Amino acid sequence: MADQPQPWAERTVEVPPQSGAGVPPQRDGFSRGRASVGRPRPPRTEQFPVVDENADWAREETPRRPLSWHLAQLRVGREWSYAAALFAFVCWGIWAISGRGDLGGPLLAFVFSLLVAVGLFALCRLVGRVIWERQLGRVRRGARGAHAVTAVFLVGVGVAYLQQTEWVVSAWNWVTGN
């Protein structure tokens, strides 16, 4: 090995020709220089069950998914809601402390805001189920959209709390020069 003048990365290995290992045969419809486009798919047709007047509507043919799968779907995108809830909580805290009064009423207002956010999340999931799954026939891969809508609502709630705080508004006006 000491008599090799070239480094190992520059050496080439000669491979003797092998019989029967030539160029593989080309597929039908192959033309060099053009992209091969597959055949168009036939339109998707679904077989709907025949409606029987005596059918048992409580029985469903589709398999049920476990509760853990549904909960995992709800967790996808939850960081948006968590971050917005934290922002709304901080803004609420600034507003509640600036009021210098009893915290019972402001706490009730914040809890009500969170309940409205949970209701909005549920409404978004329901609308997504009706439109996205039933009407369009798509599969939802998580709750990102519902979490995003809830996050926008909670950020709006936080900004509304800050707009009701006098010293925050005056500081904002001082920074912007109004």
Any domain includes 31: no
CB distance 85 to 45 below 8 Å: no
Token pair for 146: 């519902």
Give the model's confidence band at 170: pLDDT under 50 very low, under 70 low, under 90 confident, else very high: confident
**pLDDT of 81 above 80:** yes
Any domain includes 176: no
Any domain includes 58: no
Is 34 or 94 the better-scoring residue by pLDDT? Answer: 94
Cα radius of gyration (the chain): 32
Domain that holds residue 162: 67-168
pLDDT tens digit sequence for 19-48: 656 655 655 655 666 666 677 777 767 666
Rounded Cα gap, residues 131 and 67, in angstroms = 22
Any domain includes 142: yes
Average pLDDT across the chain, whole number: 77
Give the model's confidence band at 114: pLDDT under 50 very low, under 70 low, under 90 confident, else very high: very high
Between 4-8, 107-111, 153-157, 159-163, the lowest mean confidence (pLDDT) is in 4-8
Token pair for 174: 């001082």
- The number of folded domains in the chain is 1
Residue 77: predicted pLDDT: 80
Angstrom distances, CA of residue 29 to CA of 22, 32, 34, 37, 171: 20, 10, 10, 10, 71
**pLDDT of 152 above 90:** yes
Between 90-94, 101-105, 119-123, 158-162, the lowest mean confidence (pLDDT) is in 101-105
pLDDT tens digit sequence for 40-69: 777 767 666 665 556 555 455 556 777 677
Q: For the whole prediction, is pTM greater than 0.85?
A: no
Any domain includes 28: no
Nearest CA-CA partner of 94 in 175, 167, 171: 167
CB distance 106 to 95 below 8 Å: yes
Any domain includes 87: yes
Any domain includes 25: no
Any domain includes 77: yes
